């Protein structure tokens, strides 16, 4: 056995477990870890400007590719508390990240020592494990258990808190003897697959709801194969976007109160059978449970047993990894197809395709200041099929989910449940660190952009180029729209007369912050767009700047101050603001399906 410090053993384990990147901020209580990383090499470190930003970078890194686990590092005290938002976001969306924090010496933990906070207790509700290592000899086994937990069953984050004296203590450890533990994942049985296919066979208008668990299982190809075998339309959730390509004949749009498609909600309300795979029935997807479930039969496949029946009781629940379940379902479906036992669903599919073609929202607005819909039209027109979009929350994200076309898994990376402002920029940097050759496009409103804008400097320092689309209406747009129900508009304007913007400048002075100047001050490049006809040149210029300087490039799009984005309080009555689309009435006659604007 080799003799080494406990923290050197930890770095050996990280490397054996496949960690190649870390995002963090050094400090006194975590410096032994930094010393070990420098000594042993093999882990690229990205110096964040805010420790919360480091945690979001780690999540972006995890979500960029199957098998990735992002690593974020901070010192004692506020570094750990700053990362709590990142742990919450990762936990909410079932994303594994490893958070390592420094800590005061063990004999000082109960003595109100400087920055000695019980971060493990704080983080415990938001992690699969949160532990302060009190015995140096246990450090290797604790790290091994952390790797196992993050990858097993429903993925999620882990926090390991490291007192400085534990890090520096000498232990016996032999790296060659360390072996990663195989993760645990439940699998559907043959009989469960047969029962599910029996139930599906009796449905007239079924849909498959495809959740993020399919992406976690790297099983999008299996989903498409299964959907094609049984010829059933697919409705991806927000976390499941990309599980089936936008232009696939069976892709039938999103369902929900906000991030929905007109045709997706309409198809869902016509359905009589819902096959949920790797989804969690999120409230912004379902709306009222009564409307969502009325007159429908449900199957729910989920990797987490406690998720089955958590929102409502399905008619059949199957605890399984999504990939394992789909493999079983395909096996049974292929046998039944060969025997001629699968029903003909061509009429139902044609009806759904008719809605997809004719219930599109309008985007072809040309006025100045621009409407946000026009920005997403430009993105669809000018970005290729394999573009990876990164975004968090707000009207920018809601409209992006309504209008942007996603064709591949892991090409829609969205903090879906937690939705913390400021998440987009650091997450995009984490994605870039994981995928150096990928086209990455972040999407922010002005407030999300300002929350952790200092992280742009990380992209400049470490040469992490990506394109950041900033839609600027100088408002907290989603909150302003929400305040309509209170008949008020209060404390939601970001505008002020910026004394540093003159008539010669390209910026609207009353919009306040000069984002172009801000991005450039942080070492990046930025372009401002006022008119739709300028998009083509702006995108070309951004590509050239990224290629030349290898830094993030911001395209700021100046919007009209107020645009209300389609949303509602229930699936059957979404306010389109052009008109009220009450789908209970719409679905009575085919002639009503084509009443919506046809341009997209």
Residues with a known catalytic role:
25, 51, 421, 476, 479
Helices (H) and strands (E) in the chain, counts: 26, 22
Block residue for tokens 């070309």: 540
Q: Which of 438, 465, 253 is CA-nearest to residue 360? A: 253
Q: Strands 573-575 and 567-570: what pairing?
A: antiparallel
Start-to-end C-alpha separation, the chain: 65
Burial (CB count within 10 angstroms: exposed 0-12, middle 13-18, buried 19+), residue 394: buried
In three-state form (DSSP H/G/I as H, E/B as E, the rest C), the secondary structure along 351-376 is: HHHHHHHHCCCCCCCCCCCECHHHHH
Q: Count CB atoms within 10 A of the CB of residue 90.
A: 32
Cβ atoms of 217 and 238 closer than 8 Å:
no
Q: How many degrees, rounded to 5, is the angle at CA 354 between CA 353 and CA 360?
A: 95
Tokens of residue 515, six digits: 């984002």
Which letter does DSSP use for residue 126 in this model? G
Q: Phi then psi for 28, rounded to 5 degrees? A: -55, -45
Cβ atoms of 391 and 404 closer than 8 Å:
no
H/E element holding 179? Answer: none
Largest CA distance in the chain: 78
Q: Which of 542, 554, 458 is CA-nearest to residue 58? A: 458
Tokens of residue 135, six digits: 């015995």
- Distance between CA 55 and CA 84 in Å, rounded? 8
- Distance between CA 89 and CA 79 in Å, rounded? 16
């Amino acid at each position: 056995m080799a003799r080494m410090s406990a923290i050197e053993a930890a770095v050996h384990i990280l490397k054996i477990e496949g960690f190649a990147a870390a995002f963090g901020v050094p400090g006194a209580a975590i410096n032994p870890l930094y010393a070990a990383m420098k000594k042993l090499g093999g882990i690229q470190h990205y110096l964040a400007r805010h420790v919360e930003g480091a945690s979001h970078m780690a999540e972006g890194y995890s979500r960029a590719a199957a098998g990735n686990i992002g690593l974020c590092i901070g010192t004692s005290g506020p570094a750990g508390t700053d990362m709590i938002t990142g742990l919450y976001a990762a936990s909410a969306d079932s994303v594994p990240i490893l958070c390592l924090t420094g800590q005061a010496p063990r004999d000082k933990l109960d003595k109100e020592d400087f920055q000695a906070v019980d971060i493990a207790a704080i983080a415990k509700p938001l992690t699969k494990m949160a532990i302060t290592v009190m015995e140096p000899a246990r450090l290797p086994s604790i790290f091994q258990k952390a790797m196992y937990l993050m990858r097993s069953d429903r993925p999620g984050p882990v926090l390991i808190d490291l007192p400085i004296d534990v890090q520096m203590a000498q232990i016996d450890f032999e790296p060659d003897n360390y072996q990663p533990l195989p993760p645990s994942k439940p699998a559907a049985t043959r009989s469960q697959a047969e029962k599910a296919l029996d139930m599906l066979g009796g449905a007239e208008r079924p849909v498959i709801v495809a959740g993020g668990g399919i992406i976690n299982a790297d099983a999008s190809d299996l989903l498409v194969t299964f959907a094609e075998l049984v010829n059933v339309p697919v409705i991806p959730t927000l976390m499941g976007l990309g599980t089936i390509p936008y232009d696939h004949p069976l892709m039938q749009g999103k369902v929900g109160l906000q991030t929905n498609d007109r045709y997706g909600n309409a198809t869902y309300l016509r359905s009589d059978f819902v096959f949920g795979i790797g989804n969690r029935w999120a409230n912004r997807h379902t709306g009222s449970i009564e409307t969502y479930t009325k007159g429908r039969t449900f199957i729910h496949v989920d990797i987490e047993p406690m998720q089955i029946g958590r929102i409502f009781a399905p008619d059949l629940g199957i605890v399984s990894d999504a990939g394992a379940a789909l493999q079983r379902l395909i096996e049974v479906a292929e046998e039944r197809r060969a025997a001629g036992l699968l029903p003909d669903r061509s009429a139902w599919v044609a009806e759904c395709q008719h809605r997809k073609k004719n219930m599109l929202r309008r985007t072809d607005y040309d006025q100045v200041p621009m409407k946000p819909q026009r920005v997403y039209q430009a993105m669809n027109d000018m970005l290729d099929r394999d573009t990876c979009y990164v975004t968090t929350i707000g009207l920018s994200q809601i409209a992006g989910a309504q209008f942007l076309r996603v064709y591949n898994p892991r090409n829609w990376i969205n903090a879906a449940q937690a939705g913390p402002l400021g998440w987009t920029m650091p997450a995009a940097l984490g994605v870039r660190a994981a995928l150096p050759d990928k086209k990455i496009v972040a999407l922010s409103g002005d407030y999300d952009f300002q929350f952790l804008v200092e992280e742009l400097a990380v992209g400049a320092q470490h040469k992490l180029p990506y394109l950041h689309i900033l839609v600027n209406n100088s408002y907290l747009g989603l909150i302003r729209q929400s305040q309509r129900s209170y008949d008020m508009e209060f404390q939601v304007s970001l505008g002020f007369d910026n004394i540093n913007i003159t008539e010669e400048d390209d910026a609207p002075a009353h919009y306040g912050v000069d984002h172009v100047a801000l991005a450039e001050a942080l070492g990046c490049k930025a372009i401002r767009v006022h008119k739709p006809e300028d998009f083509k040149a702006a995108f070309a210029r951004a590509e050239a700047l990224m290629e030349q300087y290898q830094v993030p490039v911001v395209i700021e799009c100046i919007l009209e101050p107020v645009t209300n984005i389609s949303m509602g309080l229930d699936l059957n009555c979404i306010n389109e603001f052009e008109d009220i689309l009450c789908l209970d009435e719409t679905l009575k006659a085919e002639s009503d399906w084509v009443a919506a604007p046809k341009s997209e």
